[in-house]
Structure 1
Amino acid sequence: MMISVILIYVVLFLLSVQFLNLQWKSRGFPPGPIPFPIIGSIWWIKFRADHGSLKKLAETYGNICTLWMGHRPVMVLYGFQAVKNGLANNSEDVSGRLQTYVFNKMAQGKGILMSNGLIWKQQRNFGFGTLRKLGMGNKGMERGIQTEAHYLVEFFKEKNGEAVDPSFPIVHAVSNVICAVVFGHRFSLEDKNFRQLMEAYNWIVAFGNSHFYYICEVFQWAAEHLPGSLQKTLLSRDFVRSFVRQEIKSHREKGRTGEPEDFIDFYLDQIEKTKNVPNSTFDEDNMVQAVFDLFLGGSETTATTLRWALLYMLVYPDIQEKVQKELDTVLSPSHVICYEDRKKLPYTYAVIHEILRFSSIILITIPREAVKDTTILGYHIPKGTLIMANIDSTLFDPAYWETPHQFNPGHFLDKDGNFVTREAFLAFSAGHRICPGETMAKMEFFIIFCSLLQKFKFTVPEGVKKINTDFIFGSTMKPHPYKLCAIPRWVTQC
């Protein structure tokens, strides 16, 4: 009995020491909830960094405040000025990527998204450069996007105006754009391996911002030894890697056929060119992870935004009608949409940007890490501090948007109806870690969206009284499942 009492006192003493140590460490950091041993102050947002909790956090402690993940400080940036100052004005200072237990399990510090230092610089620069190269020439990515837009049009055409859930065909089309860029070919809807690939990515994304993710980060021993979500996520990761390695093997067996035609071709050439270069990070493991990252960053986000786009066309039929009127005025019904058309379609291009703003599918950025001591909004931020930017708050900042909580394409139009950019439009983040696929995503979104609205009028199925515009919380903010009817606009073509 005495031993039990002594142990209790020892534990209480150690917890008290940790508590006091945390209070001491928090001096000089921006204000925030009181941190406690083991759990830090993540408890304040109930392990769920959603719209309401982050807004309440900013209202309580200011647009720059501190949460503690265990004993590690996390600086939270809220609103355009704080996010811009934190990510863009001090871009290189906060270009590190958070290396956590789960992130290390998923990527081992390789590839583009989760890497740091020399690996990140080399892989990122190569990725940016290769995507630019693949966007030019006869076999450029625009042709691949137009192909997928055509197949998507054919899918809706075959439904003859019947109610259909657009989710999977959209995911299939967008994922095939990445497939064309990375592998040099597309997959059919019936391909079982491709369906399994999509299911694996869906599971990984769902895990990414679940309660289980935070629990795994805090209680690593339990995550390591107990069956559950993390183990299923790692199995999904292994399937994706195996899928990519098989594609790499096929490319090697096929041999070179002249100029590189896809990302793997370019990467294999880069491995050959740098095999005798000291400190080169170009190898098969980094190639597999880079492809993994391209899929993760390039398919889920664009597909989710397109699902929101069609949902908003149901909610705002007057805006859909205006887009179609502009398309009909500027382009012929048989015209194949290309990205250059955006310059002649200011209202449509404004609608697309408003969809990106209003859907706000990325609530927060993947946390960054200060690679050296720096200053953000007057606060001294030590090396190693994590930075979590609330991108959503920049897109709804009332100081920079006239009607932030209304769907209003006028946000991107001047008084003469010309398209204008907005400095607070940070849908693709900012700074050194800005999304490398921004141009490709915009091109995909424009060509597919315009191709669909050129051919079909989208309506609510008969009997549906109310359209649900709430989001499903996760790594990306998805709409709830819905159905629509695609009514052909040009009988001779559709």
Structure 2
Amino acid sequence: MELFGTLVLAAIVFCLLFLLFRGDSRYARMPPGPTPVPLIGNLLQLNQWAFHESFMKLKETYGPVMTVYLGPKPLVVLVGFDAVHEALVEQADAFAGRAVPPLFKQLKLDFGLGQSNGERWKQLRRFSLSTLRDFGMGRRNVEEWIQEEVKHLTEEFRKTEGAPFDPTITLSRAVSNVICSIVFGQRFDYQDKNFVDLLSLLEAHLRLLSKPIGMLYNMFPVLTKLIPGPFNKMLMNVNELTTFTSAMIDKHKATLVSDSPRDYIDSFLIKMKQESNNPDTEFNYDNLNMTILDLFIAGTETTSTTLRYGWLILMKYPHIQENVQKEIDMVIGQERAPAMEDRRKMPYTDAVLHEIQRFIDLQPLNVFHKTTRDTIFRGYTIPENTVVIPMLHSVLFEKTKWATPDTFNPSHFLDENGCFRMNPSFMPFSTGKRICAGEGLAKMELFLFFTTLLQNFSFCPTEDPDSISLSPDSKLVFKTLRPYKFKAIPR
């Protein structure tokens, strides 16, 4: 009876909110969209496992700018390059807000760089971009850190002696070590128990957040009390993750030298001291903890998933793998490690890497934005604090921007002379003021990991290439890849 009463109350609240929105002149001029039903909004009209596919179909009826209700709240969906670019670039300030999901607030994840807004976001982003750009990692630069880490990964692959194995765990540890070097000033041994446990916890946490229950918690926050099991697990995960980061911060505080920062944490702690008398500063322990987690998560999962997806694609299309290796042999050879300066001489490899990022469509919905003020967009009024989905899938697969959008085709990034050519619709890191802060690092990692491993190994599937499926395990928010095994055959 208690649950029934709660649902009835929620339905009444939805109706009142809906009437209030319709009665407000700002909401009366919002973009068109399907009519919502009480409580659940438009959920029954959407594919619960792939919202982006439903939004693409709705675009045929309502156009590239539409209003959709996920639960009781309206949000605006932008479909296609023109709409996304116009909002995030041409009206950047108005669409620069970050929509912080209710679940994230309940989990106290609304601090740090990724989920912040206003002055907090401005201060943390400015500092983080400057620190990540300028930091040479002590006496070595970031490129050298990556090159060293790829050597460790190469040795791990050699230990398999050509036997089938799942690269997920080893690759995740290698990629994570790069961001660990930048943030913590150290790499971890692949068998380090604390490191292994941390990555396992991170993977489990992201998988849980990506399940439909996570979306339901955001649409109906009351469910965290009615169905508390998954929420309590999420909260426990966050607490364990912050326990690790807090321990790293304490370790840095004990050995900090104010005029000689070793890594990102040192730089942040020094900034905290400098701003200690500023009442408006955002440099505090809550923001440091969450920014570390933001960088750690972004610097581990996205790059490692992209690489694993890339290898699967190369095994399905072995002629592409052979062409990449020919270019590696011609430009780099076998006597030295790949370096970033090689990329400009390797248009085909560069094209393949860009096409992997486009084709896998890692975050089809993008990270949600929100409007920072009442905004006029294409004749519609979008009120302040409205959630906005600038859908990356619609840009990366737009038929008018790509010759064969549904096919893996490196020629999307090559001109008639075989030279690399950037496509303006390539935006896997989003675009505008909220573009991924780690874009430069991710591109460097992808190139060096990809070329070094293909320089040393050929990747062979354990099944017929025609049988390899490229479809993800989940594609609701963040695409996750099904586990697979391959054989790394030394060249």
Task: Tell me the residue number matched to 2:172.
Answer: 171
Amino acid at match of 2:291: A
Task: Output aligned runs, 1:56-71, within 5 Å.
Answer: 56-71=57-72
Q: Cα distance 1:428–1:18, how it changes in 2: closer, same or farther (>3 A)?
A: closer
Aligned partners of 2:168 and 2:308 also within 8 Å: yes
Percentage identity across paired residues of the two chains: 37
**1:154–1:203 Cα change, 3 Å:** same
Code of the aligned partner of 1:370: T
Alignment partner of 1:93 is 2:94: yes
State the TM-score, normalized to the length of structure 1: 0.92
Closer, same or farther in 2 for the Cα pair 1:471/1:21, shift >3 Å? same
Give the Cα–Cα distance (whole angstroms) in 2 for the partners of residues 78 and 42 of structure 1: 18
Supply the AA of the counterpart residue of 1:232. Answer: K
Aligned partner of 2:266 in structure 1 is: 265
Q: Comparing 85-94 with 45-54, which one deviates more in the overlay?
A: 45-54
Point out the more displaced range, 242-251 or 334-343.
334-343
Alignment of 1:151-190 (within 5 A): 151-190=152-191
Paired position in structure 2 for 1:460: 461
- One-letter code of the match for 2:280? N
| Cα distance between partner residues in 1 of 2:13 and 2:404 | 52
Distance 2:352 2:12 in 1: 59
Describe how 1:93-492 pairs up with structure 2 within 5 A.
Answer: 93-135=94-136, 138-224=139-225, 226-256=227-257, 259-461=260-462, 466-474=467-475, 475-489=477-491
CA deviations on 1:295-354 (whole Å, 9 max, x unpaired) are: 122211111100111101101111111111111111120211121211111111111101
Higher deviation after alignment, 43-52 or 294-303: 43-52
Letter in 2 for 1:416: N
Kept after mapping to 2: 8 A contact 1:182/1:262: yes
Q: Is contact 1:18–1:37 with CA below 8 Å preserved after alignment?
A: no
Contact 1:66–1:75 (8 Å) recurs in 2: yes
Kindly tell me: are residues 9 and 424 of structure 1, through their superposed partners in 2, closer, same or farther at Cα, counting changes over 3 Å?
closer
Contact 1:354 1:412 in 2 (8 A): yes
Give the residue type in structure 2 aligned to 1:28.
R
**Match in the other structure for 1:53:** 54
C-alpha deviations, 1:51-87, integer Å up to 9, x for none? Answer: 4222222223221111123443200011111111122
Q: Secondary structure at the match of 2:228?
A: coil
1:4 equivalent in structure 2: none
Structure 1 CA distance for aligned equivalents of residues 100 and 458 of structure 2:
47
Could you say what secondary structure the match of 1:244 adopts?
helix
Counterpart CA distance in 2 for 1:200 and 1:61 is 41
- Going from structure 1 to structure 2, the CA distance change for 1:12 and 1:251 (only over 3 Å counts) comes to closer
Of 469-478 and 240-249, more deviation after overlay is shown by 469-478
Measure, in 1, the Cα distance between the counterparts of 2:335 and 2:218. Answer: 53
Q: Report the 3-state secondary structure (helix = DSSP H, G, I; strand = E; otherwise coil) of the residue aligned with 1:399.
A: coil
Q: d(CA) in 2 for partners of 1:290 and 1:219?
A: 27
Distance 1:317 1:485 in 2: 13
Q: What is the distance in 2 between the residues matched to 1:298 and 1:228? A: 29
Output the amino acid matched with 2:354: H
Deviation at 1:126, TM superposition (A): 0.7
Asked whether 1:84 is paired with 2:95, we answer no
Using a 3 Å threshold, how does the CA distance of structure 1 residues 459 and 47 change in structure 2: closer, same or farther? closer
- What is the identity, as a one-letter code, of the residue corresponding to 1:485? K
Change (3 A) 1:124 1:252: same
* 1:69–1:476 distance in 2 versus 1, CA, 3 Å: closer
TM score, norm. by length of structure 2 = 0.93
* Shift, 1:30, TM fit: 1.2
Tell me, yes or no, if the aligned pair for 2:11 and 2:38 is still in contact at 8 Å.
no
Q: Which moved more, 1:314-323 or 1:22-31?
A: 22-31
C-alpha spacing 1:137/1:10, structure 2 compared with 1 (3 Å): closer
Partner of 2:107, secondary structure, is helix
Instruction: Find the aligned partners of 1:36 and 1:18 in 2 and give their Cα distance.
Output: 12
From the superposition, tell whether residues 137 and 378 of structure 1 become closer, same or farther in structure 2 (CA, over 3 Å): farther
Partners of 2:453 and 2:460 in 1: how far apart? 13
For residues 17 and 363 of structure 1, the distance between their equivalents in structure 2, rounded to whole angstroms, comes to 32
SS in 2 for 1:471: coil
Provide, for residues 209-236 of structure 1, a one-character-per-residue CA deviation record: whole Å limited to 9, x for no partner.
3211122123323303543111111111
Task: Please say which of residues 375-384 and 308-317 is displaced more in the overlay.
Answer: 375-384
Contact 1:38–1:218 under 8 Å retained in 2: no
Residue 434 of structure 1 deviates from its aligned partner by 0.6
Distance in structure 2 (CA, Å) of the matches to 1:418 and 1:91? 32
Quote the offset at 1:43 in angstroms.
Answer: 3.4
Q: Deviations over 1:164-221 (max 9, x none)?
A: 1111111111111111111011112222221221122212322333211122123323
CA 400–275 in structure 1, closer or farther in 2 if over 3 Å, else same: same
Residues of 1 paired with 2:263 and 2:12: CA distance? 60
Secondary structure at the residue paired with 1:220?
Answer: coil
Deviation at 1:468, TM superposition (A): 1.5
Report the AA paired with residue 482 of structure 1: Y
Residues 413 and 423 in structure 2, CA contact (< 8 A), matched pair in contact too = yes
| 8 A contact 2:358–2:428 mirrored in 1 | yes
- Report the residue type matching 1:75 in the other structure: V
8 Å CA contact 2:331, 2:342 repeated in 1: no
Question: How much has 1:487 moved relative to structure 2?
Answer: 0.9
Q: Is the 8 A contact 1:22 1:37 kept in 2?
A: no
Contact 1:468 1:480 in 2 (8 A): no
Matched residues in 1 for 2:63 and 2:263: separation?
47
Instruction: Structure 1 unaligned segments of length 5 or more: list them.
Output: 1-7, 490-494
| Cα contact 2:52–2:365 (8 A) shared by 1 | no
> Contact 1:139–1:261 at 8 Å: present in 2 too?
no
Number of the residue aligned with 1:492: none
Corresponding letter in the other structure for 1:483: K
Which runs of 5 or more residues in structure 2 are unaligned?
1-6
Instruction: Quote the Cα distance in structure 1 between the aligned partners of 2:95 and 2:42.
Output: 22
Worse-matched range after superposition: 178-187 or 460-469: 460-469
Shift of 1:155: 1.1
State the shift of 1:395 in Å: 0.7
What's the offset of the Cα at 1:9? 12
* Alignment CA distance shift 1:12-1:199 (3 Å): closer
| Distance (Å, rounded) in 1 between the aligned partners of 2:437 and 2:268 | 16
Q: How far has the Cα of 1:39 moved from its partner?
A: 2.1
Q: How far apart, in 2, do the equivalents of 1:332 and 1:14 lie? A: 67
On the 8 A contact 2:258/2:270 being kept in 1, the answer is: no
Task: Name the CA distance, whole Å, in 2 between partners of 1:142 and 1:435.
Answer: 19
